[in-house]
Amino acid sequence: MGADKSCLAGVRVLDLSQFEAGPSCTEALAWLGAEVVKVENPRGGDQGRGISLGNIEGTDSHYFLMLNANKKSLAVNLKAAEGVALVKRLAQSADVFVENFAPGAIERLGLDYPSIRAVNPGIVYAQVKGFGEGSPYAGNLAFDMIAQACGGVMSVTGMPDGPPVKPGPTFGDTGTGMLLAISILGALYRRRETGEGQLLQVAMQDAMLHYMRIAFATQAKNGYTPARRAGAASVSGQNAPCGIYPCRPGGPNDYVYIYTSRGNPEHWRRLLAVIGREDLVDDPRFATGLARSQHAAELDAIIGEWTRGRDKHEAMRVIGAAGVPAGAVLDTLELHDDPSFEQRRIMQVMRHPVAGGVKMPAWPVRHDGAPPQVQPAPLLGEHTADVLARWLDLPPPEFGALEASGVVGTKQHARTR
Amino acid sequence: MGADKSCLAGVRVLDLSQFEAGPSCTEALAWLGAEVVKVENPRGGDQGRGISLGNIEGTDSHYFLMLNANKKSLAVNLKAAEGVALVKRLAQSADVFVENFAPGAIERLGLDYPSIRAVNPGIVYAQVKGFGEGSPYAGNLAFDMIAQACGGVMSVTGMPDGPPVKPGPTFGDTGTGMLLAISILGALYRRRETGEGQLLQVAMQDAMLHYMRIAFATQAKNGYTPARRAGAASVSGQNAPCGIYPCRPGGPNDYVYIYTSRGNPEHWRRLLAVIGREDLVDDPRFATGLARSQHAAELDAIIGEWTRGRDKHEAMRVIGAAGVPAGAVLDTLELHDDPSFEQRRIMQVMRHPVAGGVKMPAWPVRHDGAPPQVQPAPLLGEHTADVLARWLDLPPPEFGALEASGVVGTKQHARTR
């Protein structure tokens, strides 16, 4: 067992979350070695199991697999009072409890913080909501894109003269899950000393502000006018040249990002050398950072002329090697196929008993040289018997009765699609 | 002292990072109660202090203030051998060491992991780089936007028929910093038991893959064709209606995001009721999720007709109250001015001795009901004497000699702009 896996060895997480914001949080804990037990409905389980199910029949979605690696699954019917009672018993031996149900649902189940705290005062109880308690929208439903709209993200994404744009990655979900994971880990650290639990709550809208701080700083600098969309440039200010430049052969992602910092004029001079335009070094239109900003369109034309003659990989290689920040716009297939990620274990293959081998991004932080090992996401109910036996020391007859009455489901009995 | 502040009480972080990726990570630790000491060049300090300096003279940028709350500053000249030796001594009594210099710089300083580990085997040594060790681009410079280009983010952001777009928020920087914070906390948790340190390394390009998992899942579902830009829709699939709809009075951010999930057809029916178009319930063009996807443009026109007659706040309120996910596209000023954030302490005012009151997003996770308290970002060298006395028990004459020779700077002597 590597250093990575044992970071949270012995930590028990009772995970009532579904979709992405909650599961991304608990998966990070699982990758660091916590025992994360998903509590799932025996009829279908986490709704994420069925999202965008594609060409593989009888298994879970790739969406689910990627968000639930290294976890366990316990199938229990929360519509039965015995099911709820069972979860409360499990909570007594858990260190962390996580939920991201719609507003009001956890209270209706009787598994809210006061109820859980009553049986385990030392628990770290963590919740993700769309809008915060006390917000006028606390009762509203939220998804990733709602958080990105209401958290300011869309207002600063897109072209200066165009409409707001939604970023493609699910920053609203995973971006929130990561912040909650940090607070859970902080609370666990403290708990080792004090034994005391905590209530942790994060709202997806609020979490977005954390990723928007440069836009807020820019707004403050500009006398409190709203931060504007800046296209490919930085929200915080003008650096020219700086942008997404077209490359050969002109496909949808044949572009290279080139950045020259006003703080380091060497970037500009190095770039001129790379594109063979040293003749412009003394051109007054481009002599200072301010002048370059004022002539950004001319600069973009000059640089685009050079980039159009190269493919993006060559452009990145040549410009990057000259000490100018440059990055090819890579698509998911290029990233998937790049051998460097697999060699460095940033991409790993999940060996799933039904889906087979699924290559996916692993936890990207290397611990003593390597990221944690990806283990398969659980089948629905795969660990019901195991967890009840180990966490509760449940006698076999009692387990048999729960199973017979449908309160719990096992891999064999839970309904898979 | 609230539960929040004491999570990491007693944890000492020696922070050699600058700009955003590293500082966002250490700021999260500071908000959870760690003692984070920024090691800064006495001549100017963290380069972030000078970024986009605006209308306030003689102080630090808002950029710096927002990324360095609750930290301390120790000004030491790393070009002097005594300065490097001093940092090594500080590392002996630190729990965590963080750096995000350009490739090769920390090795040239002699403060690389082997050197620090030799004096403190129990240290958690954490690094942020642009590209990972072993990547063909490991030696390249990187900034937020380079990570967003090379990590796939831009390839899935923008309109289906348009070029790649860079998200405005600095997900490449803060998104990376958050993942490193999680691993640091995991390593600290383990260290409490074992006393052992760890080397943690994260590359900004690699970190972006973590936020791109839904795009990778979509690609796998679609037989390994690259995930495409989907405009306002989700990368993972079609749900219609779903989009960013224009509102009154037509300003740059007068839009409302409306989402109807194919998984929950009630969203669609509820939306029809809100916009007074129950007549469409049985329309065959819109009868199923698939049908609605095929007639998305017609749907967008119908919904746009309704939203254009409302302002975004009303649209969000009315649609959200009906149980349909909806979010106004809020800009930074609207978020800044919304009293709910300040009441809930998601936005707090930093009381800075030079800059005055600066309202900013605080750590958005509430611990037992409230986020941690924001404390001012440090002046350059503000805590030099204090930290050297407490961490090293440095005798005053030795301190005086270091100060006289310019190896360390104090608030009075460090050069502020």
Nearest chain A residue to B28, by CA: A182
What are residue B15's phi and psi, to 5 degrees?
-115, 105
The phi, psi pair for A217, rounded to 5°, reads -65, -40
Q: How far apart are CA A29 and CA A95, in angstroms?
A: 12
For B266-283, how does the pLDDT look when each residue is reduced to its tens digit (9 = 90+)?
999 999 999 999 999 999
Token code pair at residue B292: 């609605």
ipTM value: 0.97
Q: How many residues does chain B have?
A: 417
Helix (H, G, I), strand (E, B) or coil at A339: helix
Asked whether residue B53 carries a pLDDT value surpassing 70, the answer given is no
For residue B333, list chain A residues with Cβ-Cβ distance below 8 A. 219, 224-226
Q: Which residue has the higher pLDDT, A56 or B19?
A: B19
pLDDT at B58: 72
Q: In this structure, are residues A277 and A216 in contact, taking their beta carbons and an 8 Å threshold?
A: no
Q: Torsions phi, psi of B80, nearest 5? A: -95, 135
CA distance, residue A395 to nearest chain B CA (Å): 33
Q: What is the pLDDT of residues B372-400, one digit of tens each?
A: 999 999 999 999 999 999 999 999 999 99
pLDDT for A177 equals 98
Give the pLDDT of residue A3: 44
Percent of chain B surpassing pLDDT 90: 90
Residue of B5, B55, B154 to mutate for A, most A C-beta atoms under 10 A:
B154
Domain spanning B3-210+339-409: CATH 3.40.50.10540? yes
Bond prior to A226 in cis (omega within 30° of 0):
no
Burial (0-12, 13-18, 19+ Cβ within 10 Å), B54: middle
Q: What would the mean pLDDT of B207-216 be, rounded to a whole number?
A: 98
Confirm whether A15 is a catalytic residue: no
Decide if A55 and B221 are in contact by the 8 Å CB cutoff: yes
**CA pair distance B339, B330, nearest whole angstrom:** 14
Chain A nearest C-alpha distance from B362 (Å): 7
DSSP state letters, A294-311: HTHHHHHHHHHHHHTTSB
CB–CB contact B154 A329 (8 Å): yes
The mean pLDDT value of chain A amounts to 94
Contacts of A28 in chain B (CB under 8 A): 182
Q: Report which residue type is found at A130.
A: G
pLDDT at B352 (0 to 100): 95
C-alpha B25/C-alpha B183 separation (Å) is 10
User: Taking all residues of chain B, what is their mean pLDDT, rounded to a whole number?
Assistant: 94
Q: B327-361 burial string, b = 16+ CB within 10 Å, else e? A: bbbbbbbbbbebebbeebbbbbebebeebeebbbb
What residue type is assigned to position A169 of the chain? P
Per-residue pLDDT, averaged over B214-226, amounts to 94
Give the homologous superfamily in CATH for domain A242-246+255-328. formyl-coa transferase, domain 3 (3.30.1540.10)
Contact at CB, B149 and A62, closer than 8 angstroms:
no
Helix, strand, or coil (residue A13): strand
Q: Measured between alpha carbons, how far is residue A188 from residues A34, A192, A254, B373 in Å?
A: 12, 6, 46, 20
Q: Where in chain B is the domain with CATH 3.40.50.10540?
A: 3-210+339-409
pLDDT value of position B415:
47
User: How many CB atoms within 10 Å of residue A81?
Assistant: 11
On the question of pLDDT at B414 being above 60, the answer is no
Question: What residues does CATH 3.30.1540.10 cover in chain B?
Answer: 242-246+255-328
**What H or E segment, with its residue span, contains residue A129?**
strand A124-129
Contact residues on chain B for A196, CB-CB shorter than 8 A: 3
C-alpha span between A236 and A228 (Å, rounded): 10
The least confident of A232-236, A332-336, B186-190, B412-416 is B412-416
Q: What is the pLDDT of residue A67?
A: 98
Biggest alpha carbon distance in chain A? 87
Q: Sheet with A326-328: list strands edge to edge.
A: A242-246, A255-259, A326-328
Strands A408-409 and B96-99: unpaired
Rounded Cα distance, B123 and B113, in Å = 9
pLDDT digits (tens, 9 = 90+) for A254-308: 999 999 988 888 999 999 999 999 999 999 999 998 999 999 999 999 999 999 9
Residues of chain A predicted below pLDDT 50: 1-4, 55, 415-417
Question: Is the confidence at residue B166, as pLDDT, over 50?
Answer: yes
DSSP per-residue string spanning A275-286: TT-GGGTT-GGG
Q: Please give the positions of B annotated as active site.
A: 173
Q: CA B115 to CA B12: how far, in whole Å?
A: 19
Put simply, the answer to whether A213 touches B324 (Cβ < 8 Å) is no
Residue B325: what pLDDT? 95
Closest residue to A332, CB basis, from B178, B216, B316: B216
Note the pLDDT of residue A413. 53
DSSP state of A156: G
* Averaged pLDDT, B102-111: 96
DSSP classification of residue B54: -
The residue whose two tokens read 């939604």 is A166
